[in-house]
Structure 1
Amino acid sequence: MNGTRAMLNEARAIDRAAARFPKVQVAVAPPATLIYRMREAVDIIGVGGQDCHAQESGAFTGDVAAPMLKDAGADFAIIGHSERRTLHGESDADVQAKAEAALASGLGVILCVGETEAERDAGNAEGVVCAQLEGSCPKGEGAPEKLSVAYEPVWAIGTGRVPSVGDVAAMHKAIREKLVTIYGAGGADVRILYGGSVKADNAAELLSIPEVGGALVGGASLTAESFLAIVGAAASLVAD
């Protein structure tokens, strides 16, 4: 819940700079109030929504349907973010329904999963995340082609704490294996992002970890300067 029209200048700066990094896919998910204006303001980067409702329309005051996001110019939607799961009580079934609604409307989906600090300390992090995937991943033909999964350890979001390289590698390996179990061969191509206190000074290390195919950036995406440093780190790792 950050951003007014004044922040469109940051989006324009990101868009201009993205032209220098053609091998890196860059996207921003602003509040719903800015999706239409941002889509008009940028040419290169993707624009997405932060959530959507599972129904196409109806008596759901305050919610935003997937067709509305699409109509406003969104390319994708973030579904199941930890703040939605925690603060709004969204279950895996809720997340799955939203993901399927987004896909049905022609949107790509970034599906978020992650464990709490207590669940990691109990040694159950991988079990929790794999169960979330089992219950949250959208079903149906073609689902994996428009799906990305973002692993966001809840205890690392906005805290400055980051899991060890070994922990991230182990979790992304477990996610990949679970995706293949769910989708078969299609699960091998689903992009897996890492999210949780990603910054310019740790982006290259995180993005170098096996099975980490990108980053879901939080606070560092609020200014072009900090976000583009992460984009630049990603570009440095892409083979010519």
Structure 2
Amino acid sequence: MPRLSFYYPLLTLLLSLPSQAAQLELADNLTLLASSQGKPSAFSRVLDLPAGETKLLVRFDSPSDPNSTNESPGRITSAPLLVTIKAPAQGTLRLVTPALATAPAIRQFAVQPTLLLTNMDGSAQPLTQQVLPRNQDTLRTDYQALLASYQAPAPSNLTPPTVTRQQPSATPPRVATEEPAVQAPAMSVEQADAELRRLYLAADEARRKAFIRWALDL
């Protein structure tokens, strides 16, 4: 087994290297809806995160009264939250809510949720979060598609076209006016007869016949 003996030290070295991924743990009152790392399990409480930015959709989901002994006190949920995390190469992060010990506190938090990101020693870590509109959260919502719509790059700012304004001329523009029709001078009866005779004599035979039919109203 010379080949196996050759690769065995390399495999041992690779297995001994630390894992290049962080882990994110969710509090019990948070539900993971979608992840930019792929569709999560419906019951995911721990998520492996590569180093760098990860976007998540989560929802606050809690019994309406944490102090009630009733097994079905009802539940209070928030709209989906878009959370952006920059994970380190290694380590464990926790996504949690502030302490909510009363029913009014839970109801208020569901309306205006603000999550906290900490490491294992409780130190706060940076994150960004945005509460999405309620109308985007229905029984038929595809949360992976919804998350993808918020990952799409924003359209680049378009430079508005340059509009050249024409400066008014010092000389007022000429306004086209309609030339008055030039009327021919009025002819006397003698002049009209002479003109008709001239036109008749200058016409060919076909035109003369047409003129005679016109004159006789034939």
Q: Same fold (TM over 0.5)?
A: no
- TM-score interval, smaller chain: under 0.3
* TM-score for the superposition, normalised by structure 1: 0.22
Greater helix proportion: 1
- TM-score, normalising length from structure 2? 0.24
- The structure with more strand, counted as a fraction of residues: 2
Specify the structure having the higher radius of gyration (Cα): 2
